[in-house]
Amino acid sequence: MRCPICEKDEDKVIDSRSARGGSVIRRRRECLSCGHRFTTYETIEQAPVYVIKKDGRREPFNRDKLLNGILMACKKRPIPMETLETIVQEIETKIHNNFPIEVPSRVIGEMVMDKLQELDEVAYVRFASVYRQFKNVQEFMEESEAVQKRRIQKEIDKSQLWIFTQKPEIGSQKSF
């Protein structure tokens, strides 16, 4: 790899590790001529997947664009960046496996919504409101309400589980 500083073509690899869930190898290199250290990334060469947009136009899939969309939805939510990177990676892998040539943008949106629904309800509703392009506030409210109901149901399920795991109080009837 040519050194970006002195442009000599000899270096040694000083560190090599996998990133993005193993789909990328990141290498730290040191120029043998000037000692400058720089980083290279190695990935499998993949033909680009095309995203079919709502109006029928196609554009190459762009993981940064996907990450930005998710970041917007997760703004000020207590979600680590690492988690979001993982979500993007999982979605990208799923796209390459199931839609190797082209994928409707709607499908990507649904993949994201599935992930966010498990992760954070606020982020989910925010993302859904953009992706499904709710026609009016009423629709948006209905979606929020549906999320709310699911959350309440989850709480009920949890508390029922708690009841079932409680042991009966032995001896409590002795006083009668």
Is there binding between residue 1 and Zn ion (CB under 5 A)? no
Of 28-36, 76-84, 110-118, 162-170, the segment contacting Zn ion by CB under 5 A is 28-36
Q: How near is the Cβ of 37 to Zn ion at its closest, in Å?
A: 10
Of 29-37, 123-131, 137-145, 165-173, the segment contacting Zn ion by CB under 5 A is 29-37
Give the residue, chosen from 3, 51, 84, 108, that forms a contact with Zn ion under the rule CB under 5 A.
3
Between 31 and 108, name the residue whose CB sits nearer to Zn ion. 31
Q: How near is the Cβ of 1 to Zn ion at its closest, in Å?
A: 10
Region of residue 22 (left: phi > 0; alpha: psi -120 to 50; beta: else):
left
Give the residue, chosen from 23, 27, 28, 33, that forms a contact with Zn ion under the rule CB under 5 A.
33
Neighbours of 29 (CB within 10 A): 18
How far is residue 120's CA from residue 166's CA, in Å, rounded to a whole number? 29
How far is residue 4's CA from residue 38's CA, in Å, rounded to a whole number? 8
Q: Where are the alpha helices (DSSP H) in 99-136?
A: 105-119, 121-131
Is there binding between residue 34 and Zn ion (CB under 5 A)? yes
The identity of residue 132, as a single letter, is R
Between 8 and 150, name the residue whose CB sits nearer to Zn ion. 8
Closest C-alpha to 62, from 116, 108, 98, 21: 108
Beta bridge partners of 60: 50
Is there binding between residue 141 and Zn ion (CB under 5 A)? no
Give the residue, chosen from 29, 31, 73, 112, that forms a contact with Zn ion under the rule CB under 5 A.
31
Non-local (6+) Cβ contacts of 17 within 8 A are 25, 26
Is there binding between residue 14 and Zn ion (CB under 5 A)? no
Give the residues lining the site for Zn ion (CB under 5 A). 3, 5-6, 31, 33-34, 36
